[in-house]
Amino acid sequence: MSRDLSGFRPVLSDDEIARALTRMAHEVVERSKGASDLVVLGIPSRGVPLAQRLARSISSVEDIDVPVGAIDVTMYRDDLRLRPARALEPTDIPTGGVDGKIVVLVDDVLYSGRTIRAALTALDDVGRPQAVRLAVLVDRGHRELPIRADHVGKNLPTSVRESVKVLVEEVDGRDAVLIGAAEDPVAHVDLEDAR
């Protein structure tokens, strides 16, 4: 996927992203008192590879396979009428489901909270977890809903006139977190492109 990144500066390198995910894995294990009841679900598109990496890190800490999947939020978004033409992403719930499990939702950037609200609604249609936790690589603030991440790779205070781009090897060919000027700061819509 080609993205225009001119005018963006690096905030996290590939090594810093790897360290953040390792730290977050330890936090998840500590808070959950192990990994036996965990299910890790990524929010497409960049949350999915981050979820896979987080699950691998948790597995290496606990020496147990952690189920990992994806949950599409497209049809649960509250901004569909603003931009109705969107491709659906696959939802992949691991065998064993989410009922009675501790679900860790993973996304690349937490901004307004609307994507996470949509993910919680989508998860409600999938099953009834024991608990839901949120892990994000970047929390940039500017919440519009009362949503808070449990595990954060980097808190990055930003202006609404700035945009945060997360690049992941699996999608973009390299790992990085970049910050730069937003394309249209007035037309705030919490979409992956506008993060």
Instruction: With a cut of 80, say whether residue 164 has pLDDT above it.
Output: yes
For residue 184, what pLDDT is reported?
Answer: 64
Task: Tabulate helix, strand, coil % of the chain (nearest 5).
Answer: 30, 25, 45
The answer to whether residues 83 and 56 touch, using CB atoms and an 8 Å cutoff, is: no
pTM: 0.91
How many angstroms separate the CA atoms of 51 and 62, rounded?
A: 16
Question: For 76, which DSSP code?
Answer: G
Mean residue pLDDT of the chain comes to 92
As a whole number, mean pLDDT of residues 166-180 equals 97
pLDDT tens readout for residues 136-148: 999 999 999 999 9
Backbone angles phi, psi at 174, to 5 degrees: -160, 160
pLDDT tens readout for residues 83-102: 766 789 999 999 999 999 99
pLDDT tens readout for residues 17-73: 999 999 999 999 999 999 999 999 999 999 999 999 999 999 999 999 999 999 999
Place of tokens 């730069």: 180
For residue 85, what pLDDT is reported?
Answer: 67
Cα–Cα–Cα angle for 102, 40, 50, rounded to 5 degrees: 145
Split at pLDDT 50, 70, 90, the class of 189 is: very low
What is the amino acid identity at position 149? Answer: A
CATH number for the domain formed by residue range(s) 12-82+89-159: 3.40.50.2020
The DSSP element (H or E) to which 16 belongs, if any, is helix 14-32
For CA atoms 55, 56, 61, 63, the dihedral sign is: positive
How many angstroms separate the CA atoms of 159 and 132, rounded?
A: 29
